Chain A
Amino acid sequence: MKKYLIRRLLEVIPILLFISILIFVILNAMPGDALLQMRMENPRAFANDPAALEKLRAHYGLDQPVYVRYGVWLGKMLQGDLGYSSTYRVPVLNLLKSRIPNTLFLTITAWLIGLVVALPIGIYSAIKKYSAFDFLATGFAFVGISLPHFWFALMAIIVFSVHLGWLPISGMSSYGLTGTWEIFLDRFRHLILPACILGFVQVAYWVRYIRTALIEVMNMDYIRTAYSKGITRKKVIFKHALKNALIPIITILALDIPYFFGGAVIVETVFSWPGMGRLMYQAVLGSDHNLAINCLIFLALITLLSNLMADFLYAFVDPRIRYN
């Protein structure tokens, strides 16, 4: 088990390297770079010296071939130097440090909302298979899977923020608030819509998944055995069936973590939430290559680690699985 763990952890490294090369090459194939942006913003500084652009390009090493630049970038990154953001003009590390908590705040809340809603619905509709509740839940899941989440977010803004005026339209906090309670309430009001929408999309998948997993377990022989021993229905469901159904459920809960970060790109953009997703989107749009690369690698790392976590959890909760 320990050996397997270490091997899997080590496997992350070449995959991450491959992804970083891919991202580096793709971004460098993009038209425009930080210098062109600079020239657009300061046309006068460049007007007097036509060679300035070339000089700067050499200064920043942008005249080197892609593989040389990749090597330089990789070397610096391994030493913890993530470089500067050309649009924000601050070290990328500082930007990430201030944005990552915001995204985690949003995604973890959404994940918890998803869990709290999906688990009871999924379990109940599996227990009451083919009942009116089950039918409703399945219908609800289909609707959730088919909703484009940005549209759902827009309609929610129109209804709750524009027409009813209950909730703020966008952002993460209001200015000029004093008092801990007021600030807390303000944060909460800003969080409701984005977190619910991000969570709701996943609820739909999870409900279906939990239902199937539990129904599958309920058909097992050992459940019949448990019933025949005279154990109450409640005990059979919660002590025997649910425990075993949790194995695939936990896996899917971990495997889906990247979707929250992916979905966060859209939700953060719609709600102007100052997080990683929006940062990445703006970096890519603004040809801020260095920032974009770091954001993308961070997202790739999250994906890889949550895949890994799903695998380990799987082995951890299911004693039958032994990795060698």
Chain B
Amino acid sequence: MPGKNQIKTDDPVHIAGYWQLVWKQFRQHKLALIGGVIFLFLILFTVAGPFFVPHKYGDMNFMAIFAPPLTEEHLMGTNELGQDVLVRVMYGGRISLMVGFIAASLSVSIGTTIGLLSGFFGGNVDRILMRLVDVMLSIPMFPVLLTLTLVFGSGLRNVILVLTLFGWMGVARLVRGTVLSLRETEYVMAARALGARNSGIILRHIFPNVLPIIIVSATLNISFAILAESSLSYLGLGIQPPTPSWGNMLQNSLNYMLGTAHGVSPWWLTFFPGFLIFLTVLNINFLGDGLRDALDPKVMKK
């Protein structure tokens, strides 16, 4: 039984829904499409990859320390303990991506809530919340980030906490700006005239319209979190070894980089983790760029 709202594919007067238009628009953005595919591949690489490599991330082999890439069984070479760099990069990626996803979703949720409240209620609520944003933005982020991780102790949970604390302001500002203009639209006024409650107006009428901005911010926040986590780990304040993360693998590579101990610089220890951070962030940025264009109704009409 076809329902009333069901779209028939052979319907001659079928009008595409918003998300169908978005997809259509997004598909035309080649770079974003490629970015999305590579990003998915990277997730797959880190999640499923370890099952296809005959090593574990802790496996040591002192017969094969500092093996260069493309040697037998070690596609990306080995480190100072003879551990396989490829499998460590995969495990490290799981951690880095997880930190990125969780920190981004938390900070976007906080930012959205604050932006919605601030923009919708205005007045003193708005003044206080936006002052808070101003103050948070004028705190030099990186030094404080560093200090906070030192205070709370490094480790997965605290890194996520600190990145969340410093990631929500941009989203809050963007959402607030949009809500300010949405608040004055006819359909919100109509809803209000019909007696809708504030919560109803926010959730049913305003939120869906800020969703595009939120999605774009979320992608960009993921790349911010991944970069920041790697910087913190690099300074020894992020994820702690033996758990590998892209950042702490880079930090570890520092000890051998100059090649003074073994006469040769094991560049692959530095190159691969950093290159994967770069690849991930680059493709998320491409994806975000494409989504920004695709989700914008103004661009869509063209």
Interface size, B (range): 35 or more
A155 within 8 A of B: yes
A26 within 8 A of B: yes
B162: min CB distance to chain A, Å: 11
A145: min CB distance to chain B, Å: 6
Bound Cα distance A261, B285 (Å): 24
Bound Cα distance A302, B143 (Å): 13
The answer to whether A266 and B285 touch (CB under 8 A), given A15-B135, A26-B147, A295-B143, is no
Query: Which B residue's beta carbon lies closest to that of A269?
Result: B235
Interface size, A (range): 35 or more
Q: Do B278 and A146 have beta carbons less than 8 Å apart?
A: yes
Q: Do B274 and A299 have beta carbons less than 8 Å apart?
A: no
| B-binding segment of A106-114, A235-243, A279-287 | A279-287
The answer to whether A281 and B146 touch (CB under 8 A), given A151-B274, A162-B257, A307-B138, is yes
Within 8 A of A (CB), among B247-271: 250, 253-254, 257-259, 265, 267, 270-271
Within 8 A of A (CB), among B273-289: 273-275, 277-278, 281-282, 285-286
Q: Do A148 and B277 have beta carbons less than 8 Å apart?
A: yes
Query: Which B residue's beta carbon lies closest to that of A29?
Result: B151
B83 within 8 A of A: no
Q: Do B265 and A158 have beta carbons less than 8 Å apart?
A: yes
Q: Do B285 and A303 have beta carbons less than 8 Å apart?
A: no
A297: min CB distance to chain B, Å: 9
User: CB-CB < 8 A to B257: which residues of A?
Assistant: 154, 157-158, 162
The answer to whether A146 and B250 touch (CB under 8 A), given A154-B257, A281-B146, is no
Nearest 10 pairs of A and B residues by beta carbon: A151-B274, A146-B282, A299-B140, A146-B281, A262-B142, A30-B151, A162-B265, A148-B277, A154-B270, A150-B234
B interface residues, Cβ below 8 angstroms from A: 134-135, 138-144, 146-148, 150-151, 223, 227, 230-231, 234-235, 250, 253-254, 257-259, 265, 267, 270-271, 273-275, 277-278, 281-282, 285-286
